Structure 1
Amino acid sequence: MHQMNREMRACIEECLRCYQTCLGMASTHCLEAGGKHVEPRHLRLMLACAEICRTSAHFMLLGTEHHKHTCAECADVCEDCAKSCEQVGDMQECVETCRRCAESCRKMAA
């Protein structure tokens, strides 16, 4: 396995945590809450966020330099997801997790 620095390990953990949080909240909290929580744009964004987080973690684990591209996109999608969750309300865990992931991914993209 390639050498991973501490910052990259932390980013992988943040990405996987965000993947789990967004997917979990979309499939349970949002579906059960209904209303604004299940509006197509919001739900698609949460699922897209989960997927780009999983993909970014995967690219870092592979050790490919292309992780910089996925991490840059991940940071953008996470920030959009955090804003959407904030607007919907009652989703603070998702907001915080997405923002931490975005910050970590921005460092990896640089």
Structure 2
Amino acid sequence: MSTATASMQECIQNCQECQTICADMLTSHCLVEGGDHVEQTHVKRMLDCIAACGACIDFMSRNSENHSLYCRACAEICKACAESCEKVGGMEKCVECCRTCEQSCSSMAA
């Protein structure tokens, strides 16, 4: 990964953390809590966030010239996921990692 810039490496780390935390929260928190936590739109937003982060990691890890396209989309998806997690409540860890990922992906998309 020596071809990746420091900001790209940081974005990859933020995407990895967001992907891991969202997947963990979905399976160990949302599925246990039920109710609004398993509402279809919320679950889809979390799954989209997990997938978008994975795509960004892939594109940035191989220094694809198209990584900025994926980062732009990932930033929007992370924003939507953070808003959904905030609305559902009790998911501060997800909200925080999604906001961090949104910011770093936005900077990569510029």
TM-score by length of 1: 0.97
* Paired residue total: 110
Percent of aligned pairs with the same amino acid: 44
- Other-structure match for 1:35: 35
Where structure 2 has 5 or more consecutive residues not aligned to the other structure, the ranges are: none
For residue 42 of structure 2, what is the amino acid of its counterpart?
Answer: H
Q: Give the drift of 1:64.
A: 0.5
How far has the Cα of 1:57 moved from its partner? 0.8
Q: Unaligned 5+ residue runs, structure 1?
A: none
2:40 is aligned with what amino acid?
P
User: Counterpart of 1:104 in structure 2: which amino acid?
Assistant: S
Shifted more, 19-28 versus 33-42: the winner is: 19-28
Task: State the Cα deviation string for residues 14-50 of structure 1 (Å, max 9, x = none).
Answer: 0000000111111110000000000010001101100
State the distance in 2 between where 1:101 and 1:70 align. 13
Partners in 2 of 1:53 and 1:99 — Cα distance?
Answer: 13
Q: Deviation at 1:5?
A: 1.0
Q: Quick one: distance in 1 between partners of 2:90 and 2:45?
A: 16
Instruction: Supply the AA of the counterpart residue of 1:67.
Output: H
What's the CA shift for 1:97?
Answer: 0.2
CA shift for structure 1 position 63: 1.0
Q: Please report the TM-score for the alignment, with normalisation by the length of structure 2.
A: 0.97
